[in-house]
Structure 1
Amino acid sequence: MGVDSGKALSQNPCLHTASLHAIHSIITFLQSKGLYQKDFARIFGMCPTILTSDVRSELNPVFNFLSKDLRVPEDNFRKVINKCPRLLICSVKDQLKPTLFYLQRLGFTDVHHLAYQDPILLVSSVENTLIPKLHYLVTLGFTRREAVEMTLRCPGLFTFSIQNNFKPKFDYFSQQMEGELDELKDFPQYFAFSLDKRIKPRHIQLVDNGVSMPLSLMLKTTDEEFHRLISQKNWID
């Protein structure tokens, strides 16, 4: 299957005692749900515990959740699982349903988008990941409502590290760029761009040329478009 057996065994010692019949049963079950043989190297490589899961009590409930709660048709199971293999190792009762409920309360009402674009949110811990990220945004000066609206516009905010992403990028934004909170509220995608490869170089070019522009233009434009905008001396913010 193309799986690193040494890595898989170290991450899932139960594989030492798993029978080939049991593993084959899991593979057969997943194939019955639409997954292809070529998908398994990546899926099992990321989540080797799937290979010792119980089909009836652990795997089947996940597909029922996809079907009933996220309204994913059976012929799209493969697309969702390949997007986020970790779904298969999550408890529906203890993880997936409570997290879906929390996200829906925040305003993530589009289950189609959650299933196909942001399933990573469903496998995130409410207590250890989602709530702390919202709290951190509030400590920056946003109201809770504003913080929630930012995550609705840019769900990736829930996946970024506070220490490695939010903090250094906000420090640069507030100290070097002297930006206003309203700018981040309007363009929370700022945190999705690389600080060293995108934010700093482009900000420095703007300063050197005495030009200012909205964050979205500064970061989203191609290099060619960005340099063209800088060359327009009559650029108006």
Structure 2
Amino acid sequence: MIIRLQFFPQTLIPLHSTLSPVKNPNRSPNCTKQSQLLDGFRNSLSPHPNTPISDSGLRFRQKLLYIENLKVNSSKALHKNPNFRSAPLDTVKSVEKCLCSMGIQRSALGRILDMHPQLLTSDPYNDLYPVFDFLFNEVHIPFPDIQKSIIRCPRLLLCSVDDQLRPTFYFLKKLGFAGPHAITCQNTLLLVSSVEDTLVPKLEYLQNLGFSYKEVVKMVVRSPGLLTFSIEKNFQPKVEYFLDEMKGDLAELKRFPQYFSFSLEGKIKPRHRLLAEHGFSLPLPEMLKVSDGEFNLRLIEMRLQLADERYLE
């Protein structure tokens, strides 16, 4: 017996028609609910056809979120470092890895990058490692102290070794910062100062007060902070008060150049006036180096001693 295969013509489905899934009448409610959840999850992954997601926009937002997690102000970074907008995230990560390799903690890292957003797009091998190499091999800062130098003065990382750091280092060595007075992590911030515009004018100002060059050198080597003070905001007002109000002698400043490191309004004036009210005076170290409690106790002792002397008279 011959069985003939009969081919039925295919039913054409118009392109504009909508296909609906076949509903299974035996499907359980749980399966239906799971299917709805799965469909919702798929829809959440699929971008809306009218709002396509830009890969570059997503990467940009990831980069901003990354530096915000480092406690870096992203708005400030974009304003102060326009190159950051187009820099890949890997650039930021390479800077972070470089600084962390020198012992800088993540908390300090964020503060440094927030202070100087230019560092976000720096090249570790061309910009950062040469600074570390200079501090270690030429200035002879011990490796564990390099991170202390950077934390105290992040501007070191923005300076050219050849144009700024090395010339200033040679000048300071010649001035007397060598041997027992060599540059340490405590005063590496001097290296970012311009020799012609900052260091030399301060030395000349002190000489113009009446100190010899040798005396000035001895003062700044003993107290390197003198070279970080402003002439207009620090030296001039403190010298004027010392000479005009305290009737001081420049010889005392030679012995105690740390005078310039104390606040004029916060400590020098108040303590001098308290002493002057009772007709007392103290050498600068005794007046300024002690705490407020010790100073007040010393003042009370002087007043009691004066009262005893008057009583005995």
Aligned AA for 2:197? Answer: N
1:106-140 superposed Cα distances (whole Å, 9 cap, x missing partner): 11115886332111101111111111111111111
Pair 1:81 & 2:159 matched: no
User: So what's the TM-score if we normalise by structure 1?
Assistant: 0.92
Once the 2 structures are TM-superposed, how far is the Cα of residue 32 of structure 1 from its aligned partner?
A: 2.4
**Structure 1 ranges of 4+ moved more than 6 A:** none
Aligned residue number for residue 254 of structure 2: 185
Q: Give the number of the structure whose residues are more often helix, by fraction.
A: 1
Aligned residue number for residue 137 of structure 2: 68
1:83-125 superposed Cα distances (whole Å, 9 cap, x missing partner): 2211111111111111111111111115886332111101111
SS in 1 for 2:72: coil
Aligned residue number for residue 226 of structure 1: 295
Aligned residue number for residue 10 of structure 1: 79
1:168-222 superposed Cα distances (whole Å, 9 cap, x missing partner): 1111111111111101111111111111111111111111111121111111112
Give the structure, 1 or 2, with the largest relative contact order (CA under 8 Å, sep 6 or more).
1
Pair 1:59 & 2:131 matched: no
Aligned residue number for residue 40 of structure 1: 109
Aligned residues: CA RMSD: 1.9
Q: Runs of 5+ in structure 2 lacking a partner? A: 1-69, 307-313
Q: Percent identity?
A: 48
- State which drifts further: 146-155 or 102-111: 102-111
User: So what's the TM-score if we normalise by structure 2?
Assistant: 0.71
Aligned residue number for residue 242 of structure 2: 173
CA contact under 8 A between 1:137 and 1:147: conserved in structure 2?
A: yes
1:143-167 superposed Cα distances (whole Å, 9 cap, x missing partner): 1211111111111111111111111
Pair 1:150 & 2:150 matched: no
Aligned residue number for residue 132 of structure 1: 201
CA contact under 8 A between 1:34 and 1:78: conserved in structure 2?
A: yes
- State which drifts further: 203-212 or 6-15: 6-15
Aligned residues: 235
Structure with max Cα Rg:
2
> CA 1:107 to 1:26, structure 2 compared with 1: closer, same or farther past 3 Å?
same
Q: Runs of 5+ in structure 1 lacking a partner? A: none
